[in-house]
Structure 1
Amino acid sequence: MDFKDDFNTPRIIQFPKIQDPKGNLTFIQNPQHVPFEIKRTFWTYDIPGGEIRGGHAYKSQEEIIIALSGSFDVIVTNLLGKTEKFSLNRSYYGLYLPKLTWRYMENFSTNSLSLHLSSKEFFEEDYVREFELFKKLSQ
């Protein structure tokens, strides 16, 4: 992946996939596969049917979301009000989200597992948790 590209918009990143009859392997290395230094990782799992996760934006943090198992949809809205849906269901794809991107996750399959790679350590003040406040940031 060439990170000289414009990384101001959400996009799918394809990670290396090494196929083997005994099972496939995918890996991520800095800085070749991620456009930021990874400062934090977390994962979500055991999400009950019909639940929605996320529902926030970050003021300065960038993030990559990967469906390690199962599937789910990520709905993103940028500061211009453009909304897109990304369906994640392959462990060798990651969804890159730049700062100031509203996101929520829905439509989780049974036993889905999402891995999140973040450019910042947890800092509550970096979160924008109200959509109306998020929309005002573009004005």
Structure 2
Amino acid sequence: MNYKLIDFNVVGDHRGKLVALESLDLIPFSINRIYYIYDTKEGISRGFHAHLDLEQVAVCVKGSCDFILDNGENRKIVHLDSPNTGLHIFGITWREMHNFSEDCVLLVIASEKYDESDYIRDYNKFKGIVEDGKEK
């Protein structure tokens, strides 16, 4: 499966806690885009796509959500609920996000700027690409 969990270094004292993320360090790629998802509605899921080249690290900086990750053969549920842990998704991996808590703020750090041509939005096309072992 094309993912790994990254434990972030936390610095803290009586004033609070701080997590610093830097390109090519804890974030294993150059950062070209950062966005966040919040104010999600109950019962609404997001994602339902894969990427040809993009790498991402997702962090629930508040609240929680579930990722379903699929490599074409296996599906895995990864629960995110800590600002100290990032989910690094790489390779051609189908992703869905479900079960957002009411207070969820999901931060996503991406290796590339938005490029619609990098998205695979059809699950059958995704399966075909995985089975062919090449990008279409």
The one-letter amino acid paired with 1:26 is V
Q: Distance in 1 between matches of 2:16 and 2:43?
A: 32
Deviations 1:43-65 (A, max 9, x none): 10000011101110000101110
Matching of residues 58-77 of structure 1 within 5 Å: 58-77=51-70
Q: Secondary structure of the residue that 1:42 maps to in structure 2?
A: strand
Q: Secondary structure of the residue that 2:130 maps to in structure 1?
A: coil
Q: Distance in 1 between matches of 2:105 and 2:28?
A: 23
The one-letter amino acid paired with 1:38 is I
Specify the alignment match of 1:93 in structure 2: 85
Query: How far off is 1:67 after superposition?
Result: 0.2
Post-superposition, which runs of at least 4 consecutive aligned residues in structure 1 deviate over 6 A?
none
TM-score (norm 1): 0.90
Q: Gaps (5+ residues) in structure 2? A: 132-136
Specify the alignment match of 1:128 in structure 2: 120
CA RMSD after TM alignment: 1.1
The one-letter amino acid paired with 2:18 is L
TM-score (norm 2): 0.92
Identity among equivalent pairs (%): 31
Q: Does 1:14 align with 2:25?
A: no
Q: Gaps (5+ residues) in structure 1? A: 1-7
Query: How far off is 1:14 after superposition?
Result: 0.8
Aligned length: 131
Query: How far off is 1:9 after superposition?
Result: 2.1
